[in-house]
A and B are shown apart, each in its own frame.
Chain A
Amino acid sequence: DTAVSQTPKYLVTQMGNDKSIKCEQNLGHDTMYWYKQDSKKFLKIMFSYNNKELIINETVPNRFSPKSPDKAHLNLHINSLELGDSAVYFCASSQVNRVGETQYFGPGTRLLVL
């Protein structure tokens, strides 16, 4: 029944590793997003995809590569993990063809890089 789901919920890994976070939405929305919330609790957008096409890329290092196999899924792959990548990553989705549409967020993935 979960509208926006993310896996895993927790991810602890070593510096230099490559990891992926998965996101799925069952709301039938056209647009999906990735946000990063750092240790100071600032929540910032990273990417958005609309119907599998990249719409927003907020100057994120190219070690981060989003992949959207279909409009219900937006995965985030991170290469060569660094300590500064430790954060909570939130996926969200929305339907953009209506004025004032809202975003629905997933529960977050807590990434800790050691």
Chain B
Amino acid sequence: DAKTTQPPSMDCAEGRAANLPCNHSTISGNEYVYWYRQIHSQGPQYIIHGLKNNETNEMASLIITEDRKSSTLILPHATLRDTAVYYCIVRVGNFGNEKLTFGTGTRLTIIP
């Protein structure tokens, strides 16, 4: 079972920042928060991950609360190509058993 809760859908205007929330209140101390997205009919694509510190890469930023019970994925300047289902995943298992459990995700629609 997925250990995260996300809103089923969100809209964002093109060019604005898209902020996607995720609750993971039962996260363990050594579990990471991962974000993937799935653009229609394609395979899931890795976006970013983090443990406790905020992270940024060329695609997005990840803000994790101090208690680690929730996080926010930020797409700073959303484009139409960012329309996709976004999955927040808490990584389970240890080395050699890297199972990703996908929930229902958030369907993000970028509005022109």
Contacting residues, chain B, for A41 (C-beta < 8 A)? 85, 104
Contacting residues, chain B, for A13 (C-beta < 8 A)? none
Within 8 A of A (CB), among B80-111: 85, 87, 91, 95-102, 104
Contacting residues, chain B, for A97 (C-beta < 8 A)? 95
Across the interface, A96 reaches (CB within 8 A) one of B46, B51, B87, B96, namely B96
Binds A, one of B21-29, B36-44, B68-76: B36-44
Main secondary structure, interface of A, reads strand
Question: In the complex, are the beta carbons of A42 and B43 less than 8 A apart?
Answer: no
Closest Cβ–Cβ distance, residue B93 to chain A (whole Å): 8
Closest Cβ–Cβ distance, residue A11 to chain B (whole Å): 15
Give the total of A residues in contact with B, Cβ under 8 Å. Answer: 25
Binds B, one of A43-51, A60-68, A69-77, A79-87: A43-51
Question: In the complex, are the beta carbons of B96 and A108 less than 8 A apart?
Answer: no
Given known contacts A103-B46, A105-B45, A108-B43, A42 and B98 CB-to-CB distance under 8 angstroms: no
Question: In the complex, are the beta carbons of A45 and B100 less than 8 A apart?
Answer: yes
Residue of A nearest to B87 (CB): A43
Interface residues, chain A, with chain B CB atoms under 8 Å away: 4, 31, 41-45, 48, 50, 55-56, 90, 92, 94, 96-97, 100-108
